[in-house]
Amino acid sequence: MHKATPLIFGALIVFSSLAVFPTVGAQGAPDISVDCVQDNHINVSMDSLRAVVIYCSVENPSSFNEDVDFLYDSEHLSLTGLSSMYISAGTTKLIEIVARASQLQDAGTFSNSITAIVREANGAPTWPVSPTDTEEFTVIIDDYVECNLYDYPESVGVGVDGDIDMPVTVTCFSNVEVSLDFSFTLHDVGAVATLNPAPIFWPGGFEDKSPDCSLDLVPGLTEFQCSFEAHTSTPLISSIDACVSIYASAYQAPEICPNKIFVIEPKLLGLSSTGSLGYLVPVIIILALAVSAILLRRRFQDSVD
């Protein structure tokens, strides 16, 4: 084939495409423009939708009525949106793109794109010189760490030492690799009034005496063993419906406890959960000693008489 043949063939394609628009010189060529909102955030917590809606404006600045196709591209997220749209000459339309992440997807900033392709202008195909525009937009998957407590007793008896000491299982869901120091909070869930649901922390005069609970988290599910310890110098008069929550020490204690309720009860007889005597045991011992002393004294007096 002669060397000039490919050039002639290409020129025929271009000129045949331009011939579709006989008034291009007067009206200008078909065109399209896409502009999307940036810095969109996704929360991948366990109870979230793990999705965000990105809003993009699609402008047809030309004097042609256009049929536009849309293509979406993302390496890490699932993108869904309109596949095509009719846009009148000189108008702008708003479209929505839904970006969805997987559960506990790693935190980070991810680039995505939408490409608009003018398929037809005034009803005539624009191929092979179809005007296109590609817009890149970012989606940020936020850091997520949530820890809760499991496997602690239904009730705890407190004796004369005023101590609570119970092992707890800490279960954490995270999408980042991070080391955190955690603290405990004791909630009184029985004394919160319906009309005044203000949180009540550390009832019964208890104070936190827990040892350090430092955890190295990895993306996904992680379990640890920690110990919740508390002390009060105030003798318990009645039981307390309580709940223990755990939170990162750098943040404020949560107002609502998401974990199960357990009962803190005064131990009157026997031994408490920490092995200390019940509140009445020392009294009973003292009374027993007093009675024994009285009986011995009477017996001694009877023997003398």
CA 151 to CA 139: how far, in whole Å?
38
Q: How far is Cα 64 from Cα 33, in angstroms, rounded to an integer?
A: 14
Residue 25: C-alpha distances to residues 18, 28, 38, 60 (Å): 10, 6, 36, 18
125, β-bridge pairs = 120
CB atoms within 10 A of CB 194: 5
First to last CA, the chain: 147
Taking residues 128-151, what's their average pLDDT? 94
Between CA 199 and CA 255 the distance in angstroms is: 6
Mean pLDDT of 167-181: 94
**Average pLDDT in the 267-296 region?**
56
Smallest CA-to-CA distance from 244 within 226, 258, 224, 265 is with 258
Q: What is the pLDDT of residues 47-93, one digit of tens each?
A: 899 999 999 999 999 999 999 999 999 999 999 999 999 999 999 99
Stretch 236-254: mean pLDDT? 90
> Residue 29 pLDDT more than 80?
yes
Which amino acid makes up residue 121?
Answer: A
Report the candidate in 219, 206, 235, 222 with the shortest Cα–Cα distance to residue 104: 219
| Higher-pLDDT residue of 175, 161 | 175
On whether the pTM is more than 0.85, the answer is no
Residue where the block lists tokens 């849309």: 70
Task: Report whether 212 contacts 169 (CB < 8 A).
Answer: no
Q: Range with the lowest mean pLDDT among 102-116, 130-144, 263-277, 278-292?
A: 278-292
Q: Where are the beta strands (DSSP E) in the chain?
A: 33-36, 40-42, 51-59, 66-74, 78-80, 84-87, 92-100, 108-121, 124-125, 132-141, 145-150, 155-158, 163-174, 178-188, 207-208, 213-217, 220-231, 240-248, 262-266
Residue 17 pLDDT level (bands cut at 50, 70, 90): very low
Q: Residue 254 has which token pair?
A: 């949560």
Domain ranges of the chain: 22-141, 145-267
The CATH H-level (homologous superfamily) assignment of domain 22-141 is Immunoglobulins (2.60.40.10)
**Does 145-267 match 22-141 at the fold level?**
yes
* Side-chain half-sphere exposure of 62, counting CA atoms within 13 A: 24
CA 80 to each of CA 35, 101, 265: distance values in angstroms, whole numbers, following the listed order: 17, 12, 56
Q: What is the mean pLDDT of residues 283-294?
A: 60
Averaged pLDDT for residues 92-96: 97
pLDDT of the residue at 291? 60
- The topology (CATH level 3) of 145-267 is Immunoglobulin-like (2.60.40)
C-alpha span between 251 and 244 (Å, rounded): 16
| The pLDDT value given to residue 7 | 36
- pLDDT band of residue 9 (cuts 50, 70, 90) is very low
R_g over Cα of the chain? 37
- pLDDT of res. 60: 98
Check residue 160 and give its pLDDT.
82
